[in-house]
Amino acid sequence: MKFKLIAYKSPKGTLPPLIKKFDYLYPLNNVEIASLMKLHQYCLHFDSKKTFLEAGDMHEKSYIVMRGWAFRYELLSNGNQQIINYYLPGDIISPFAAVMPKTNYSVASVNKMELCVFENDELIELFIKHPRIGLYYGWMLGREDSSLAEQIVRLGRRSAYQRTAHLLLELFHRLKIVGLAYDKENAFPLPVTQQLLADTLGMSAVHMNRTLKKLQHANLITVSFEKIYLDDIDSLKQVAEFENTFLEQAKSHLLTGFNGFRNIASSA
């Protein structure tokens, strides 16, 4: 697959979502922002529903999601697929490409996407020049580890009803951080089909449909056109036993407790 690379142009006055996320964790200095901008030089554009990374192929580059959603999945021989996780704006696809280019998983777009590509060598240079950025990167990986762990708990030990509530809450919180949720109305754009939600939560599309209906009848959510309202977040959290430790508490810690930042000066 060949795609035209287009220089990335940040809309006036806004930072790319990855930088926004890092800055949300702990303010970046200008040198660091400039260095991170170098990862945003070239963009790819994809249509919806395209598998752009195939299982078994070498994944030798990493991608930053600028717009749109993607997901990582595995296909099984009976035609079923399991979605492992979603990539939202600000997330990095194949963050381990530098050291683990071969994987069992494919990655596909949900809707129209804009991605920035960067090379392994750029990333490694960045870490050497700016050790602090390595810490941000590590923090991001740690969040993703937690996110996969949550997905495991959802699939292993929660009912379909709880699973669905739990996933919706997680997506809402992740989108909020990059400014893509409708904060005031507790809603967010949900571009995925019920079939994809079912493939995410290990259930059939039929049962996904019934479960969403049940959540609506309980006045917990409202589903409108590609947009979902969390009408009663407290009840949803209770139903799902949702803990957002890994999404919210992480922030305060690096601000207060961690002294690695003080010992290690950014070398620029």
Partner DNA sequence: CGCTAGGTTGAATACGCTCAAAGATCGTGG
Partner DNA sequence: CCACGATCTTTGAGCGTATTCAACCTAGCG
What is the C-alpha separation between 196 and 163, in angstroms, rounded?
A: 14
What is the C-alpha separation between 212 and 218, in angstroms, rounded?
A: 10
Strand partners, 69: none
Q: How many residues bind a second copy (CB under 8 A)?
A: 66
Among 51, 194, 235, 244, binds DNA (CB under 7 A): 194
Nearer to a second copy, 8 or 105 (CB): 105
Q: Which stretch binds a second copy (CB under 8 A): 45-53, 173-181, 183-191, 193-201?
A: 193-201
Instruction: Say if residues 87 and 93 touch (Cβ distance below 8 Å).
Output: yes
Binding mask 30-59 for DNA (x = CB under 7 A): -------------------x----------
Under the criterion CB under 7 A, does residue 155 sit at the interface with DNA?
no
Amino acid at 189: P
- 37 makes contact, choosing from a second copy, DNA, none, with CB < 5 to 8 Å by partner type, with none
Query: Which residue in 123, 68, 63 sits closest to 93, CA to CA?
Result: 63
Under the criterion CB under 8 A, does residue 142 sit at the interface with a second copy?
yes
DSSP string for residues in 212-249 = HHHHHHTTSEEEETTEEEES-HHHHHHHHT---IIIII
Query: Which residue in 51, 100, 55, 101 sits closest to 76, CA to CA?
Result: 55
Give counts: helices (H), strands (E), the chain: 10, 12
Q: Which stretch binds DNA (CB under 7 A): 10-18, 21-29, 82-90, 204-212?
A: 204-212
Strand partners, 72: 85, 107
Instruction: Say if residues 193 and 155 touch (Cβ distance below 8 Å).
Output: no
Among 14, 241, 255, 268, binds a second copy (CB under 8 A): 241
Under the criterion CB under 7 A, does residue 219 sit at the interface with DNA?
no
Under the criterion CB under 8 A, does residue 99 sit at the interface with a second copy?
yes
Nearest approach, Cβ of residue 72 and a second copy (Å): 7
Nearest approach, Cβ of residue 13 and a second copy (Å): 29
Nearest approach, Cβ of residue 147 and a second copy (Å): 10
The upper half-sphere exposure of residue 214, i.e. CA atoms within 13 Å in the direction of its Cβ, equals 15
DSSP summary character for residue 56: T
Among 120, 146, 209, 222, binds DNA (CB under 7 A): 209
Tell me the two tokens of residue 232. 């009663």
Binding footprint of a second copy on the chain (CB under 8 A) = 56, 58, 72, 74, 76-77, 80-85, 96, 98-105, 120-121, 124, 127-128, 131, 134-136, 138-139, 141-146, 148-153, 155-158, 199-202, 241, 243, 245-246, 249-250, 253-254, 257-260, 263-264
Binding footprint of DNA on the chain (CB under 7 A) = 49, 159-161, 193-195, 202-207, 209-210, 212-213, 223, 225
